[in-house]
Amino acid sequence: MITTEFTKADLTRTATLEGMFRLNSTANGLTGDGLEAPGSEPTTPAEQFEGRNGYDASFLPGWEIDLPLATGAAAQDMRQLRDGSGSVELTYQNFSVVMSASRRLSMITAVNINGQESRRMSRIDKWSFDGRLDKTDQWGDELYFRNDLDRGHMVRREDPIWGTFEEARTANVDTFHFTNSCPQMAGVNQRTWLGLEDHILKHARADGMLVTVFTGPFFSDHDLPYRGALVPLAFWKVVAIVTEDGRPSATAYKVSQARELEELEFVFAGYKTFQISIQQVMDATNLDFSALLPFDGFTAHERATGEPLVELIDRLENIRI
């Protein structure tokens, strides 16, 4: 059974990871993406984000899905913007981010994907701070400098790049803000995890080709302490579509990078993606996905049987929508 808890073996391995990273980061001066020394990262001024549409709760036809926010004690961990509005939602072009104050990482990202209006844009080189927050509220390159950690996109770069040329270009640049990154080993960038959106898009209504995707880290007390941060050991996705036959469908997925963090050799064969229930994501994150639970077959199965349901996705064709 796969849950957000980790085995004793996993926890024993993570106890040694911080020392391994320290050794690796000074061994040969490698900088991964060719990063310059931390301190030179640009900041996008707050006023430049004016007019961003952000996540659209009414994006899917006939299905209103409000941005899921943290509940209970976790609600106190949502970072508010500096503008005094009390808002926790950072709006970008076609997506939104809610930050964790304690982790300085995204708690949840929400993106709308329009497959029919998708455009291709070249990657950019620079990641930037978001000026609507203090720099101390978001991890910059000091977390990624001279080690094997990637600045992993939570909202996949290609997903919000749709609309007019200007809108698509804005969305491309917006995805390269530190608020949209979490530290990931290179193994995260493999076919099954990155291909989820594309595969599910194919099952959306042909006349709409619309998908909503929520992504974030599983925060745990067992996450890896490193350079003052806690590196998440696992990530989740929740995907909502209206299927070809007009049926609302919601599914959830988990990927763990605990073994990749240990190996530092990027053993891709050990990296696995699982389909899980949205209820499991909700229980582990305290994010309110209750509106999606009636449309998730895995959650329905768990309620009927009382047993958690987890299935390995070794091929995208194994996904049950």
In this prediction, residue 204 has a pLDDT band, given cuts at 50, 70 and 90, of: confident
Mean pLDDT of all residues in 8-35: 44
- The reply to whether 321 falls in a domain is no
Q: CA 175 to CA 160: how far, in whole Å?
A: 8
What tokens does 140 get?
């910059």
Annotated catalytic residue 301: no
Residue 1 placed within a domain: no
Token output for 154: 């939570």
In a domain, 320, yes or no: no
List, in sequence order, the alpha helices (H) in 207-296.
258-263, 278-285
How many domains does the chain divide into? 1
Q: What CATH number is attached to the domain comprising 294? A: 3.40.570.10
* Among 15-29, 87-101, 208-222, the range of highest mean pLDDT: 87-101
For the segment 8-34, the average pLDDT, to the nearest whole number, is 43
Tokens of 20: 């391994």
* Entry pTM: 0.86
Does residue 174 form part of some domain? yes
pLDDT at 13: 43
Most confident of the ranges 7-11, 82-86, 144-148: 82-86
Q: Would 133 be classed as within a structural domain?
A: yes
pLDDT at 23: 38
Residue 189, annotated ligand binder? yes
85, part of any domain: yes
- Residue 94 domain boundaries: 8-315
Does residue 2 lie within any of the structural domains? no
Is the pLDDT confidence value at 190 over 70? no
Question: Which tens digit of pLDDT belongs to each residue from 145-161?
Answer: 888 788 889 999 999 99
Calculate Rg over the CA atoms of the chain.
19
